[in-house]
Structure 1
Amino acid sequence: MDKLTSDIINAHGGLERWKSFNTVSAHLVQGGALWGLKGKAGVLDDTSVTIDFWREAVSHAPFGSASRKSSFTPDLVELRTTEGELLESLANPRDSFAGHKLETPWSDLQLAYFAGVAMWTYLTMPFLLAEEGVQSREVDSWEEKGETWRRLRVEFPPSIATHSTVQTLYCGRDGLLRRHDYDVEIAGNTPGAHYVSDYAEFQGLKFPTRRRIFPRQPDGQALAEPLVVSIDLDSIVLT
């Protein structure tokens, strides 16, 4: 494992501690321009998410209404009632985004897919870097906000559904993440600069509780507006 990769994982609580859990759940308050742009304003403004560490599986509840919840895996997304009755499903959901641009509206099932991919990536990072097939290496450092951030180039295998094959992580001297860059492939490869902050420790692992995502320019600099997505997390519980 690349030394920077190891340093980042250790700063967040270490791989052995991570391996002692199976799931994480959190309460989310979300905002930003993306949801309205996709025709889904308000659907996931205030919800809870549960993810599985050992397989790519995510559920959001409520999903739009108190009686609905989502179920995401890379090969299938579903909307169900809180009692488990199937309402809608979509197999091979990533294929449904072919030809999409940033402004292309989403169906509820496409929203469930995106939200599943995003939150599984966010809540398993940086421990996801230790997964089989994930390759990472340190690249040139980056100056921002009066700090020097070390950078890690990460390449994901096809077996992991995430924003883009190649992503970049930025970390401070303490090994904690400051920023996470990717291109949203299912939205026309839209480039994003995702800032994380307000770390808190839960059951021996450290999670950022504030996330803000902005457009990223070709030179790597982030635009100050619009705010594409905001995510605030609390009530994080590991089992």
Structure 2
Amino acid sequence: MDNWARFRSATAALDTGGAIWHLKGQPDMFKGIELAADLRRQHLTITAPAAGWRGTFAPDVVHLDSLDGRTTEKRHAPRSAYEGHTQMTPWDRLHALYFTGYALWTYLTIPFLYTLPGFQTEELPEWNENGEVWRRLKVTFPDSIASHSREQISYFGEDGLLRRHDYTVDVMGGAQGANYASDYREVRGVMVPMSRRVYAYDEAGRKVDEPLLVSIDFRKIVFAQ
């Protein structure tokens, strides 16, 4: 925690993929992107150099700007734009930006995020998966943090590293996600998963192998003071 507290920002280069982007009508929108995140407040900028745009996320507003400065799209109170959505409802680019912005910011800051004021945690019974025993932590998010859902569950291996992260996605009509973290790399004393794979899960909490809903592959992550 003392080490993490030294950092104020993060930058990264990454690719995202998976079936969800085709379902939502935004295939390849987040391939070859770069991000810059504020670790102290929920704010994140995504740049797609090849596609020529830059998007900015905050809980109360998102906007997309062309890199040549010619066009701008903006949406205030972006979460309200998902009212009535189901898993099959197509998204526009601002829908996709809000979802991706809060998701990536959350993934970059877990588990340190859970120590902030307003978060409530409760340890659940242990879980067996992949021949390991994982400890589970149910986390209730405060209203001030935009995320998939108010209640989420994180699974930790015997080495203390995050293995899996479960949630329902409110902006997709309550779709379920089991987010697996792997390929850990040490970045300035912080163990960071460079790969994430998101699947659905069944009523027993077991992963549904097909389809792969979301893939996230970080090529580089840098923490700065």
The two structures have a TM-score, normalised by structure 1, of 0.91
AA aligned opposite 1:143: N
Contact kept, 8 Å, 1:152 with 1:168, in 2: the verdict is yes
Q: In structure 2, the residue corresponding to 1:16 is in which secondary structure?
A: coil
Q: How many angstroms does 1:181 deviate by?
A: 0.1
Contact kept, 8 Å, 1:23 with 1:52, in 2: the verdict is yes
User: How many residue pairs are counted as aligned between the two chains?
Assistant: 224
AA aligned opposite 1:229: V
Q: How many angstroms does 1:137 deviate by?
A: 1.6
Change (3 A) 1:86 1:55: farther
Structure 1 unaligned blocks of 5 or more: 1-14
Q: Measure the CA separation in 2 of the matches of 1:21 and 1:222.
A: 34
Q: Does 1:123 align with 2:104?
A: no
Contact kept, 8 Å, 1:22 with 1:54, in 2: the verdict is yes
Q: In structure 2, the residue corresponding to 1:58 is in which secondary structure?
A: strand
Q: What RMSD over aligned residues (CA atoms) do the two structures have, in Å?
A: 1.3
Q: Does 1:62 align with 2:54?
A: no
AA aligned opposite 1:22: R
Aligned to 1:9: none
Q: Does 1:150 align with 2:135?
A: yes
Q: Measure the CA separation in 1 of the matches of 2:50 and 2:80.
A: 24
Change (3 A) 1:133 1:162: same
Q: Does 1:36 align with 2:22?
A: yes
Q: How does 1:150-169 map to 2 (within 5 A)?
A: 150-169=135-154
AA aligned opposite 1:34: I
Q: Measure the CA separation in 2 of the matches of 1:64 and 1:228.
A: 24
Q: How does 1:185-204 map to 2 (within 5 A)?
A: 185-204=170-189
AA aligned opposite 1:48: E
Q: Measure the CA separation in 2 of the matches of 1:108 and 1:64.
A: 16
Change (3 A) 1:213 1:164: same
The two structures have a TM-score, normalised by structure 2, of 0.96
AA aligned opposite 2:9: T
Aligned to 1:4: none
Change (3 A) 1:158 1:62: same
- Over residues 23-68 of structure 1, what are the superposed CA-to-partner deviations in whole Å (9 max), with x where a residue is unaligned? 1111111111000100000111221121111110011111771x21
Change (3 A) 1:64 1:223: farther
Q: How many angstroms does 1:82 deviate by?
A: 2.8
